Amino acid sequence: MNSESKITPSSTNSSSSKTAVSGPAEQQPIIQTFSLRKTYRTGFWMNKTVTSLQQCSVQVMPGETFGLLGPNGAGKTTLLKILLGLAKPSAGRGFLLGKPLGDRSAKQYIGYLPENAYFYDYLTGWEFLKYAAGLFQIPEKVQKRRIPELLDLVGLDRKAAKKKQMRRYSKGMLQRVGMAQALINDPKLVFLDEPMSGLDPMGRYQMREIILSLKEQGKTVFFNSHVLSDVEVICDRVAILALGELICEGTLDQLLGAKTQKYQVKGRGGKPQALANLLIDFEMQAEQWHGQLQANPQQFLSSLEQMGGTLVEMKMVRQSLEDFFIQQLRQRGIHKSR
């Protein structure tokens, strides 16, 4: 299969994004970069340089929800702009939907919600979406159906979208219009730069639900965030970027799983002395005891049985992504953002 045939206009067939994840194309990464580097010239005389990204190699498969994490100034937006063809890498190369980065033909299959998007204040949300649809040359008939559908998806009142100018929108409403705009061309691949930023808890929850619904539709979502809890709930795979370098990458299970598996155990009976040797932070409270197990749970259960104890509860406590993130940054002596 040549790279041309991997791209099928999803705007004419909304189910085609689903086929993208189940066809032979699923073997091919939808995003792949090799040692990307970006250096900016700065300072009054443009005589200083800042390296925003170095040795950045990432791979995202179709249908994946990929979260790029990192403190402020880590280079997340820089990477996203390079992927979108909005900035040129100083070195390295990459492919998007089988095309070299910057190739215009890939653009119609991509959606983008920028960080701190600037919208046209005097347009209504509806007018803005029509304008965005026009840029993709989406036929009037399709627009008529898609705009209200998208407004419903992002949870923006149709009346408000038609009547209110965007200068009167709250941050949450603007973010929703931004999301609708990012989806106007029914993209296969959606880039979201800090989509939860500035939203209240309800707004974050709704944004999360929207991203999950995109995932259900088989779309590939690449998003930048420094809000770890959001990433933890939504992403199949994450990468951590710090000072322009990818310091680790993998599924949450790979990053937080096996090595750090611990079990919180509660029970009754048995021999307190022996249990205290098996459990960390062993504590008795009335009839019950609890503690943390780091050894093999099977072994623990058979020891407990032998000493005549009963298990009340055993649950896995995984290291949170936040703990992992801080630990990774500390190990590399990176505590501060740029």
Ligand X SMILES: Nc1ncnc2c1ncn2[C@@H]1O[C@H](COP(=O)(O)OP(=O)(O)O)[C@@H](O)[C@H]1O
Contacting positions for ligand X (CB under 6 A): 40, 42, 50, 52, 70, 72-78, 338
Place of tokens 């880039």: 191
Nearer to Mg ion by C-beta: 195 or 267? 195
**Shortest gap between Cβ of 265 and ligand X (angstroms)?**
40
Q: Which is nearer to Mg ion, 14 or 337 (CB)?
A: 337
Q: What are phi and psi of 187, to 5 degrees?
A: -70, 160
Residues in the chain: 338
Alpha-carbon distance of 111 to 180, in angstroms, equals: 10
Helix, strand or coil for residue 263? strand
Q: Is 145 helix (H, G, I), strand (E, B) or coil?
A: helix
Shortest separation between residue 139's beta carbon and ligand X, angstroms: 36
Q: How far is the CB of 193 from Mg ion (least distance, A)?
A: 6
Task: Return the number of the residue (52 or 206) whose C-beta is nearest ligand X.
Answer: 52
Q: Which of ligand X, Mg ion, none lies near 292, with the C-beta cut-off 5 to 8 A by kind? A: none
Sign of CA dihedral 159, 162, 163, 168: positive
Minimum distance, C-beta of residue 193 to ligand X, in the bound complex (Å):
7
Q: Strand runs (DSSP E) across 107-160, as ranges?
A: 110-113
DSSP string of 299-325? HHHHHHHHTT-EEEEEEEEPPPHHHHH
- Closer residue to Mg ion (CB): 10 or 224: 224
- Name the strands in the sheet holding 245-251, side by side, starting at the edge strand that comes first in the sequence: 110-113, 189-193, 220-225, 65-69, 237-242, 245-251
Place of tokens 């299959």: 109
| End-to-end CA gap in the chain | 44
Give the nearest distance from C-beta 240 to ligand X in angstroms. Answer: 11
Of 12, 6, 314, 307, the C-alpha closest to 139 is: 12
Given the complex with Mg ion, which of 5 and 337 has the nearer CB atom? 337
Residues in contact with Mg ion by the rule CB under 5 A: 76-77, 115
| CB closer to ligand X, 173 vs 242 | 242
Q: How far is the CB of 53 from ligand X (least distance, A)?
A: 7
Among Mg ion, ligand X, none, partner that 105 touches (CB below 5 to 8 angstroms by kind): none
Q: Of these partners, ligand X, Mg ion, none, which one is at the site of residue 338 (CB under 5 to 8 Å by kind)?
A: ligand X
By beta-carbon proximity to ligand X, the closer residue of 302 and 337 is 337
Q: Which does 270 bind (CB under 5 to 8 A by kind): Mg ion, ligand X, none?
A: none
Q: How far is the CB of 31 from ligand X (least distance, A)?
A: 17
CA gyration radius, the chain: 24
75 binds, among Mg ion, ligand X, none (CB under 5 to 8 A by kind): ligand X
Contact partner at residue 155 from Mg ion, ligand X, none, CB < 5 to 8 Å by partner kind: none
